[in-house]
Amino acid sequence: MKKLLSLIVAVAFALSFAAVVVAAEKPAAAPAAAPAAAPAAAPEKAAPAKKAVKAKSKQVTGTIESLDAAAGTFSVKGKKETVSLKAGEKVKLADFAVGEKVLVKYAEGTASSVKKVAEKKKKAAPKAEKKEMAPAPAAPAAK
């Protein structure tokens, strides 16, 4: 009885080892066997790879140094570096001009969003006007 049990365990181990070896060989043999089917299968394999290796998005605030709306490219000079980017599908470069301050979110050299940034000097000016408009306190009448 012990011999039969040990024989069954040995066969199960051998089959599991063989299954691992066969599974490892299949992906290498499949492209060589069907070269005509490879172009159709490539987009399917590429899509999961992009999802698995998603680049971390970055952002930069700076001034637009160069802009080519026809080609969909632009560069932004930030405090530390100048970044050359390609506009994403949702970005409309026609709304921007060279010299404007923008906030750009990007990943892998492609901008996902570009927004104009209001300058701080414009915000300070209305506060100064409000102070000037306030009426001066009335002086006490002299007797």
For residue 106, pLDDT beyond 70? yes
Give CB contacts under 8 A, 24+ apart, made by 82-85: 84/109, 85/109, 85/110, 85/111
| φ, ψ for residue 41, nearest 5 deg | -80, -25
Please, how many CA atoms are within 13 Å of residue 98, restricted to the half-sphere of its CB?
8
Domain identity same for 26 and 69: no
Domain identity same for 17 and 69: no
Cα–Cα distances in Å, from 18 out to 25, 26, 63? Answer: 11, 13, 62
- Which residue reads 């000097």 in tokens? 121
| φ, ψ for residue 36, nearest 5 deg | -70, -30
In the prediction, which pLDDT does 101 show? 94
Task: Assess if residue 49 is contained within a domain.
Answer: no
In the prediction, which pLDDT does 135 show? 65
Share of the chain above pLDDT 70, in %: 61
Domain identity same for 105 and 68: yes
Note the pTM of the prediction, 2 decimals.
Answer: 0.46
Domain count along the chain: 2
For residue 75, pLDDT beyond 90? yes
Domain identity same for 21 and 70: no
Residue range(s) defining the domain that contains residue 91: 58-118
Task: Assess if residue 32 is contained within a domain.
Answer: yes
Task: Assess if residue 45 is contained within a domain.
Answer: no
